[in-house]
Amino acid sequence: KVKTLPTIMVVGLRQSLKKSLETERNSNAIINVITAEDIGKFPATNVAEALAQMPGVTIDRVLGATQRVSIDGMDPSLNLSFLDGHPVAQALWLYGDQPNRGFNYSLLPPEILGNLEIYKSPEARLPSGSIGGTIIMHTLEPLNLPANTLRASVGYNYNDMVSQGKPDVSLIYSWKNANSTWGIDVAAEHYEQITNRQGEEIFGYTPVATIAKVNPAVAGQIASGQIQSTAIMPNEINSANFQQTEKRTSFVSNIQFRPNNQFEATLGLMYLRDQLNNYNQSMYAFPTWLASTQQGISGLVQGANGVIIAGNQCDPSTQPTCPTGAAGATVFDNNARRATVTTRGINLHAAYHGYGWELSGQAGVSTSHDPITQAFIEPVYFGGYNWSLGQGFNFSNPTAAQNPTNWAGYYFMGNYGSLPYYARDNWAQANFKYDLNGFFNDIRVGVRWAVHHEGQTLNVYTGVPVTTLTGIGAGPLTNLSGLSSLNFFPGSVYHVQPSGPNAIYNYVLATPGLFNNLYAPFVYDNTFGVAQKSEAGYAQLDFGNDNGLRGNLGVRFVHTLIDASGFVISQADVGSLPAPPGSYQTVANAHNNILPSFNIAYDLTPDVILRGAAAEAIAWAPYNQETPYTETNDTVLTGTGGNAHLNPYKSYNFNASVAWYFNDQSVLALSVFYKDLTNYITQGTGIEQLYNGLYQTAPSLYAQLPAGSCNATGICNYSIIRPQNGGSAEVKGLEVSYQQPFAHTGFGLRTNLTYTDGSTHTGGLLPYNSKLSYNFSPYFEKGPLTASVTYSWQSKYLAGGYVAGAPSVMVAPWAELDFDATYQFDHHFSVSFDALNLLNSTYKEYAQGNPTEIYARYKSGREYIARLNYKF
């Protein structure tokens, strides 16, 4: 039979690797394991970064390594994560973000974990809902720790793109009585961090032939052959600055009771409060915005692949030759946001071991909510500039541009948004295991009930009076600090640094009668609710003999009921409140799925194990995609929406591996996998007639929308992307992993490589599928010193679009170099130092098939963390 390993806090890197291999070696399924010390001894500040060092695992770093974790080339939403066997509810923290079923690993301090398992092949006893992999995190248990175990650390983290660092403090204490019949552990952490991501963004491209219709200078360049009529130019060049101050307080506790060898119960408690206030500034030179700005375009320079890479915007105040009526415009979006995610949870697990049988179960609830708000202003500066794709823009009259009085509201000043978000999970499960004492070792049967609720309501209040940045309380304009690493023009991009985001909140909230000006279309378009209820039952046979053969086979039946709610509003009612009776509608869908699974392992020799697995698996689309909601961009007439009639993703998964454990800390392994997705949810585009908010808020801009697209009552033809059933896809790949300490030198190596090849039935790319990724991590542990260096690389992959309704974009290859070192003074005290993203890599997005059609480039800086650690 497979050995059951206790959850323990291991000490020492080599001991950690040994314990991880023991768990992997004794598993029937194909899994990877990370123990507590793996997270602390390798460069990683959260669980996601530690996961990324495992074979087959990659992460998307657009806003930090927290929640977009891909396993075996699958979209992060097609993987599930559980804490001690149960889900953790998660509310969104970013205003306007799209929900997904991935896990936000920044919520959990790594110190609370004993180990973590990545199941790449399903078992019938495990919850369904994952096609890529299932991640199960196990917290520390007091009865498996020495009495009066104490771990404490005080740290300081600093990013070289911010002006100051922040502290973090953590404490773990575990106690049990002398008889080890009951105990309690408590883990508490307070963590603070300042983030400053700077970059360049382009929100779409326009054919120069369109500009030539209103601009003789551009028409002349086309006629002379300087630029091609088919060339495209950026709609704008945005200097983007995302600043965030995070303050996270967490508390996790396990109370464990084991009065005898037969009965055991554990009560788990969780409280997390994560304040994630952020300030997102976007200053974008916008040559294609208005008819007047299109007339002011000149001096276009064409680069490779038909992309205009530079140009000039004339300034009537400094250039007498500027055409009459032409102008240059720079729009300055200021998004001041407040977010505090509060998560609570309670889980009770109990088990009774009889003679040859075992009965166990668990039940609990997890809630999360976030009263997200945003104060928004959008002043505009009218003046000329020259711009270069990849280098930013320079104002023609810097003195005027740096004066905050010259930045004022144009067609409107701003608004106030309230986006309360909620999530809740309830679960109950019962399991029975009976020993068969034969080739079939035991049979397991069980039932599981779970309900997930998630939703949001968007309220946007308008009527903010027009003023200048001086009127808001802005200071002088200053340069961004990190843009030199993006090769921007010296002194090119100036951002107004107001008294802080509080100044924006104060001005917007002081609007007379602000909360009487609720904007109806946003309420209707961005409000949704989902209730997903599942009832499951399973049966699983574990088998094995003394000749090295073992495994399991089973089947899981899952009945799922999804109630998806949203507004369905007629065109006549879309601009007014309150909502008509019956307009908030719920669509119910029921699904039944029978999911067989089979895992087998055979010891070819005492040190070589061959494994195989086959299973049918399902996963579900992100929650908002299951609802009848719609989100639009009123300027470019595009949008995204949901579909309340989606079926689950369905896949037939096949895995095989061979692993050579040539000593207790070493392994050389090869794994292959194939996933045949018979229902892969694809994105379809159609034209829908919807209300355009500019008709009400900015009539002059509404009048300039493309001719024939809108009518006289505010209704426009939108290109809407919605998910739809019926697609298919396949993913195949292999993983090679190797780790070994080199005798008694203290040196060792851990490395892995993953190749995946995935596509839809039409040959399209799969989101977040990097064809090649690898990690190379040499380490040293001898005496008091432990150190490691990790180099990680992943190839390009497809990710989400830059704005509602935009096509997906490619993310360029990513390389990262990290370092970690710990020095142990004695049995109690040690110091550690982590350095992450030492290469200060650039996160780059570009159009599919055209790497010169850039959509975003970001720098997030190098991160350094120093800690003083104590253990007893």
Q: Is the pLDDT of residue 751 over 80?
A: yes
| Alpha carbon distance 503, 184 (integer Å) | 46
What are the structure tokens assigned to 374, written together? 């945003």
This prediction's pTM = 0.92
Tally the C-alpha atoms within 13 A of residue 96's C-alpha that lie toward its C-beta. Answer: 17
pLDDT confidence band for 802 (50 / 70 / 90): very low
Q: How far is CA 125 from the centre of its chain?
A: 28
Task: Confirm whether 842 is domain-assigned.
Answer: yes
Strands 715-741 and 638-641: parallel
Q: Is the pLDDT of residue 4 over 50?
A: no
Q: Which is nearest to 93 in space by CA: 344, 335, 272, 340?
A: 340
Task: State the average pLDDT over residues 582-609.
Answer: 96
Helix, coil or strand: residue 694: helix
| Alpha carbon distance 615, 651 (integer Å) | 8
What are the structure tokens assigned to 157, written together? 């983290």
Task: State the average pLDDT over residues 846-872.
Answer: 93
| Alpha carbon distance 608, 610 (integer Å) | 7
- 248 — phi, psi (to 5°)? -115, 130
CB 383 within 8 A of CB 398: no
What's the burial of 687, exposed, middle or buried (CB within 10 Å: 0-12/13-18/19+)?
Answer: exposed
Catalogue the E-assigned strands of 258-319: 263-285, 297-302, 308-313
| Segment holding 415, helix H or strand E | strand 408-435
| Alpha carbon distance 843, 796 (integer Å) | 11
The CA radius of gyration of the chain, in Å to the nearest whole number, is 29
Q: Which is nearest to 650 in space by CA: 621, 628, 626, 624?
A: 621
Task: Confirm whether 3 is domain-assigned.
Answer: no
Q: Is the peptide bond before 578 cis (omega within 30 degrees of 0)?
A: yes
- Burial letters for 347-374: b for 16+ Cβ neighbours within 10 Å, e otherwise? bebebeeeeeebebbbbbbbbbbbebbb
pLDDT digits (tens, 9 = 90+) for 170-212: 999 999 999 999 999 999 999 999 998 888 899 889 999 999 9
| Alpha carbon distance 495, 482 (integer Å) | 12
Helix, coil or strand: residue 655: strand
Percent of the chain topping pLDDT 90: 67
| Segment holding 173, helix H or strand E | strand 166-176
pLDDT at position 491 is: 56
More confident residue, 284 or 233: 233
N-to-C CA span, the chain: 36
* Stretch among 611-620, 647-656, 744-753, 759-768 having the lowest mean pLDDT: 759-768
- Burial letters for 69-83: b for 16+ Cβ neighbours within 10 Å, e otherwise? bbbbbbbbbbbbbbb
Task: State the average pLDDT over residues 31-49.
Answer: 69
Task: Confirm whether 5 is domain-assigned.
Answer: no
Asked whether the CA dihedral 655, 660, 664, 667 is positive or negative, the reply is negative
More confident residue, 622 or 474: 622
* Domain around 172: 13-871
Task: Confirm whether 2 is domain-assigned.
Answer: no
Q: Provide the 8-state DSSP code for 579.
A: P
pLDDT confidence band for 850 (50 / 70 / 90): very high
Task: State the average pLDDT over residues 732-738.
Answer: 97
pLDDT confidence band for 317 (50 / 70 / 90): confident
What are the structure tokens assigned to 213, written together? 């219709």
Contacts of 399 (CB under 8 A, 6+ apart): none
Percent of the chain topping pLDDT 70: 93
| Alpha carbon distance 620, 404 (integer Å) | 49
| Alpha carbon distance 80, 619 (integer Å) | 9
**Residue located via tokens 């142990």:** 824
Q: Which is nearest to 248 in space by CA: 87, 109, 423?
A: 109
pLDDT at position 864 is: 95
What are the structure tokens assigned to 529, written together? 């609710």
Helix, coil or strand: residue 805: coil
pLDDT at position 7 is: 33
pLDDT confidence band for 234 (50 / 70 / 90): very high
What are the structure tokens assigned to 608, written together? 């070589």
Q: How many CB atoms lie within 10 A of CB 556?
A: 27
| Segment holding 734, helix H or strand E | strand 715-741
pLDDT at position 458 is: 93
Number of domains in the chain: 1
| Alpha carbon distance 621, 397 (integer Å) | 50
DSSP tally for the chain: helices H, then strands E: 12, 44
- 599 — phi, psi (to 5°)? -130, 140
Q: How far is CA 384 from the centre of its chain?
A: 38
CB 296 within 8 A of CB 359: no
pLDDT confidence band for 495 (50 / 70 / 90): low
What are the structure tokens assigned to 485, written together? 């690493």
What's the burial of 259, exposed, middle or buried (CB within 10 Å: 0-12/13-18/19+)?
Answer: exposed
Amino acid at 290: L
pLDDT confidence band for 148 (50 / 70 / 90): very high
Distances (CA, A) of 448 to 362, 363, 854: 9, 10, 47
Q: Which is nearest to 287 in space by CA: 217, 224, 211?
A: 211
In sequence order, what are the beta bridge partners of 563?
Answer: 531, 588
Q: Is the pLDDT of residue 822 over 80?
A: yes
DSSP codes of every residue in 31-91: EEEEEHHHHHHSS-SSHHHHHTTSTTEEE--BTBSSS-EEETT--GGG-EEEETTB-----
Q: Provide the 8-state DSSP code for 380.
A: E
CB 60 within 8 A of CB 339: no
pLDDT confidence band for 806 (50 / 70 / 90): low
Task: Confirm whether 267 is domain-assigned.
Answer: yes
- 589 — phi, psi (to 5°)? -135, 135
Task: Confirm whether 6 is domain-assigned.
Answer: no
Task: State the average pLDDT over residues 519-524.
Answer: 88
Q: What is the mean pLDDT of the chain?
A: 90
pLDDT at position 682 is: 84
Q: Which is nearest to 130 in space by CA: 419, 486, 558?
A: 558
| Alpha carbon distance 838, 817 (integer Å) | 5
In sequence order, what are the beta bridge partners of 245?
Answer: 194, 277
pLDDT confidence band for 41 (50 / 70 / 90): low
pLDDT confidence band for 3 (50 / 70 / 90): very low
More confident residue, 725 or 613: 613
pLDDT at position 480 is: 62
CB 198 within 8 A of CB 161: yes
| Segment holding 194, helix H or strand E | strand 182-201
Highest-scoring range by mean pLDDT, 171-175, 403-407, 707-711 = 171-175
Highest-scoring range by mean pLDDT, 443-457, 471-485, 617-631 = 443-457
| Alpha carbon distance 368, 655 (integer Å) | 36
pLDDT digits (tens, 9 = 90+) for 421-474: 999 999 999 999 999 999 999 999 999 999 999 999 999 999 999 999 999 987
Q: What is the CATH number of the domain that holds 281?
A: 2.40.170.20
Contacts of 807 (CB under 8 A, 6+ apart): 801, 847, 848
Task: Confirm whether 139 is domain-assigned.
Answer: yes
CB 230 within 8 A of CB 268: no
Distances (CA, A) of 41 to 102, 110, 384, 438, 462: 25, 11, 53, 42, 51
More confident residue, 321 or 128: 128
Task: State the average pLDDT over residues 57-84.
Answer: 85
Task: Confirm whether 769 is domain-assigned.
Answer: yes
Q: Is the pLDDT of residue 397 over 80?
A: yes
CB 363 within 8 A of CB 287: no
What are the structure tokens assigned to 749, written together? 């190596």
- 173 — phi, psi (to 5°)? -135, 135
| Alpha carbon distance 166, 55 (integer Å) | 32
CB 648 within 8 A of CB 619: yes
| Alpha carbon distance 525, 629 (integer Å) | 6
